[in-house]
Structure 1
Amino acid sequence: MRIERVTGQLSLRRTIETGTEEQRRAVRQIIDDVRKHGDAALKTYTEKFDQVTLDSLRVTEAEMKAAYEAMAEDLLCFIREAAANIRDYHARQKRESWMMTKEDGTILGQKLTPLDAVGLYVPGGTAAYPSSVLMNVIPAQVAGVKRIVIVSPPNKHGTLPAGVLVAANELGVKEIYKVGGAQAIAALAYGTETIQPVDKIFGPGNIYVALAKREVFGQVAIDMIAGPSEIVVLADETAKANEVAADLLSQAEHDERASSILVTPSMKFALEVASEVEKQLETLPRKEIAAASLEQYGAIYVTETLEEAVEVVNELAPEHLEVITAEPTSLLGQIRHAGAIFLGRFSSEPVGDYFAGPNHVLPTNGTARFSSGLSVDEFVKKSSIILYSEQALQEHGTKITALARLEGLEAHARAVEERLKSRT
């Protein structure tokens, strides 16, 4: 990993999911094909991109049974316990509709309504992600969403990973389809003979999935355009170099475009961590991916003071932030920008990925400056309620008409004046 003293603006590389013009054209063509040809297009693209011919797009009971048979009993217990932790955390986020009555009889309020239907994209490819199922489905259920649809690319056998199927079934999700890529996003947005459309699409994917979500936004809502995974570790010399190195590698193994960064006021500690990273990298199963990630997007920033290190963290606005210092909680008030904050030596980032309870769907590419992680709020919509009393309209009507005429909207003003002419 490169070590850089911070003397000014950071030389930070980020990966923005904009794609090439060729990729954007390809995505638009796929979406158009799915809109026109429905299931037939889904099967054609599945055969082209996933090299498998499907008889049925929907996961069958036999496939679900086989998934349970392949799942070790202890892993099933761990999935259930993780799900309980996640549900407990998100249940505390749930808000209620509210109403208030003013002295003049006016009633104001807000009505919260769960979305009717949401779609969850679960990535395939080099790894299986049952944790993505738990983190997206559970807040939707807590919010009260009735219809939850999962799509995911099939493997060469025409099935989905056992962990994904078991996690979905444990949560009671019945609509699970073996389709991935831009074609899956198109199906969720516009519908086919088999897959009915949804109102909002969640979940990360490759560049084609990201571009497809951009294309269908407006027809449906989307959660975010997720970039590659990121971790920043803020540490001083009280941290252990081997543990920090392991945490950096935990993100680097995700993707060649993932970003792993250490920020520290100690050059001595920086050198120790860099050495540990190289040592641990040698035995990592996903060594090539992690090495490429560290080469392109890894860094160790060395500052003069811990206070300067905190400012660097705020500039980076990372997806995941670990604070491993002598007194980590004392720095919490100074941290302004981070998707999730892990305090102390034992709060390693994978704890949040899988088990603790908070959501692991977090803002990337510095968007933690203005956005938050996935929560129950993302699965509801809010309607304002206004029941204006006659007394209030008589008192404030002329103010309203004046504001309407200030904007040149005479009909707005007259709509209020018609009610001011006579009192019931």
Structure 2
Amino acid sequence: MSREPIRRLNAADTDFEDRLGDLLAWESVADEAVEGAVAEILEAVRTRGDAAVIDYTNRFDRRQLQAGVDFQVSAEAMQAALQRISAAERGALETAADRVRAYHERQLQESWQYTEADGTVLGQKITPMERVGIYVPGGKASYPSSVLMNALPAKVAGVDSVIMVVPAPDGQLSDLVLAAAAIAGVDRVFSIGGAQAVAALAYGTETVPRVDKIVGPGNIFVASAKRAVFGRVAIDMIAGPSEILVICDGKTDPDWIAMDLLSQAEHDEQAQSILLSPDRGFLDAVQESLQKLVAELPRRDIAAASLAGRGALIEVESIGQAIEVSNRVAPEHLEVSVEDPERYLSQIRHAGAIFLGRHTAEALGDYCAGPNHVLPTSGTARFSSPLGVYDFQKRSSIIHCSPEGADQLGRVAGALARGEGLEAHARSAEYRVRK
């Protein structure tokens, strides 16, 4: 790493807001060349179905699929993968799944209704989606945690069928990913990826059923495809690079905080790691820890590039000011590594996930704490929430008017409808009015 591996900012500087804005700036997934290629793939899959999926899969993933060959992964293959992984890996997956399932079961929404004095019934019917698709990265990447975090909330919600797509470059599939699919109860798995897999889920093919919603992370082609099919199907979000913001009072081991920052920096060069502290000496210590610890990481080059390009150590006046800056950033992951962190919780307004206390590493949330690790990025925590059971449930309004209710509401609706110049609306409502 260079002598200055991560920028230093001070919230007291007159140009701090401008420098913070520059630090947070990130171009979203919008590339004309990519979008043009994705549009071509989507149209080909929409019109040619499996044939187009096979052509693109063979081209991009170096496969040799033939027309008519089934690219679905059998239930037997998933169970075989579950048997091949080590006992420690299986135990970790099952423990994580149990915790994720238990947390999300508390999110279940139930239908409700109430009866007014005149007998009119109003309410809301909660219904799970019929079929959802989850995209899981493949190839060099092996993300069984993504399987659990995307599939389990859908299963808890009561979705009829969870369809998983995962690319298999050179025909290689991760046993851990397939084992996670078996543990999470994924109904069908297809060994395809990229924009062609998103298209197959959105439009349906001879082999892949059309879904109601597509969730899960992917590269720029996957993200662009999800953006393009939104409206035909629902999607979870267009995710940006991973982010962590740590607020620390200077009393946590600097190596702990440095490694927390590195845990995001190692994702990719665009990931963002920010530390806020009122203790300048602590910021110095963390900077030294970063220099020392990054050299020990297998992905040291990626982490170093992330810290140098988008990381920052920021001196603030107080923990209160740190929270103000954090709310401005609206980070994906927020660690509050201070004494009595609960006292600050009410002041935190914008964050995807909040990790309280010195012993709560963000990495625990990535894998096994229980809450979902699919979180809003790039400041979208101002208006977005983590993936949850509620993302796989629909709400239908219930209105059942009694004769008395129809009489009263018909008069109100008639007056409002005529005010809008909609005579048929007015008459429709007033036909139920007692003369």
Q: TM-score, normalised by structure 2?
A: 0.94
Partner Cα distance (1:370, 1:65) in 2: 40
Q: 1:396 to 1:13 in 2, by over 3 A?
A: closer
Q: How does 1:95-110 map onto structure 2 within 5 Å?
A: 95-110=109-124
Identify the residue that residue 79 of structure 1 maps to in structure 2.
Answer: 93
Partner Cα distance (2:421, 2:274) in 1: 54
Shift of 1:71: 0.5
- The residue type equivalent to 1:121 in the other structure is Y
Identify the residue that residue 3 of structure 1 maps to in structure 2.
Answer: 8
2:137–2:167: 8 Å Cα contact kept in structure 1?
yes
Shift of 1:59: 1.1
- The residue type equivalent to 2:351 in the other structure is A
- Asked if 1:140 corresponds to 2:145, the answer is no
SS in 2 for 1:212: helix
Shift of 1:125: 4.2
SS in 2 for 1:263: strand
SS in 2 for 1:204: coil
Identify the residue that residue 331 of structure 1 maps to in structure 2.
Answer: 344
Q: How does 1:151-190 map onto structure 2 within 5 Å?
A: 151-156=165-170, 158-190=171-203
Identify the residue that residue 315 of structure 1 maps to in structure 2.
Answer: 328
Partner Cα distance (1:61, 1:419) in 2: 56
Identify the residue that residue 260 of structure 2 maps to in structure 1.
Answer: 247
Q: How does 1:372-411 map onto structure 2 within 5 Å?
A: 372-411=385-424
Q: 1:86 to 1:65 in 2, by over 3 A?
A: closer
Identify the residue that residue 35 of structure 2 maps to in structure 1.
Answer: 24
Q: How does 1:263-278 map onto structure 2 within 5 Å?
A: 263-278=276-291
2:407–2:434: 8 Å Cα contact kept in structure 1?
no
1:17–1:210: 8 Å Cα contact kept in structure 2?
no
Partner Cα distance (2:41, 2:300) in 1: 34
Greater Cα offset, 48-57 or 191-200: 48-57
- The residue type equivalent to 1:417 in the other structure is E
SS in 2 for 1:148: strand
SS in 1 for 2:381: helix
Coordinate RMSD, CA, aligned: 1.4
Deviations 1:8-29 (A, max 9, x none): 3123234343321111101000
- Asked if 1:232 corresponds to 2:224, the answer is no
Identify the residue that residue 67 of structure 1 maps to in structure 2.
Answer: 81
Counterpart selection for 1:51 from 62, 66, 73: 62
Deviations 1:273-296 (A, max 9, x none): 111111111110011111111121
Partner Cα distance (1:319, 1:395) in 2: 48
Shift of 1:396: 3.5
Partner Cα distance (1:25, 1:290) in 2: 31
Q: TM-score, normalised by structure 1?
A: 0.96
Greater Cα offset, 295-304 or 339-348: 295-304
Aligned residues: 421
- The residue type equivalent to 1:148 in the other structure is V
SS in 2 for 1:419: coil
Partner Cα distance (2:416, 2:204) in 1: 44
SS in 2 for 1:82: helix
Shift of 1:150: 0.3
Partner Cα distance (1:132, 1:274) in 2: 31
Partner Cα distance (2:40, 2:308) in 1: 35
Identify the residue that residue 44 of structure 2 maps to in structure 1.
Answer: 33
SS in 1 for 2:72: coil
Partner Cα distance (2:57, 2:173) in 1: 13
Greater Cα offset, 332-341 or 41-50: 41-50
2:79–2:179: 8 Å Cα contact kept in structure 1?
no
1:188–1:195: 8 Å Cα contact kept in structure 2?
yes
Partner Cα distance (1:53, 1:260) in 2: 41
1:17–1:207: 8 Å Cα contact kept in structure 2?
no
Deviations 1:342-362 (A, max 9, x none): 001111011111111111110
Partner Cα distance (1:340, 1:289) in 2: 24
- The residue type equivalent to 1:106 in the other structure is T
Unpaired segments ≥5 residues, structure 2: 1-5
Deviations 1:71-98 (A, max 9, x none): 0011101111111111111111111101
- The residue type equivalent to 2:149 in the other structure is M
Partner Cα distance (1:172, 1:417) in 2: 51
- The residue type equivalent to 2:402 in the other structure is S
Deviations 1:243-270 (A, max 9, x none): 0000000001111111111111111111
Partner Cα distance (1:59, 1:394) in 2: 59
Identify the residue that residue 3 of structure 2 maps to in structure 1.
Answer: none
- The residue type equivalent to 1:17 in the other structure is S
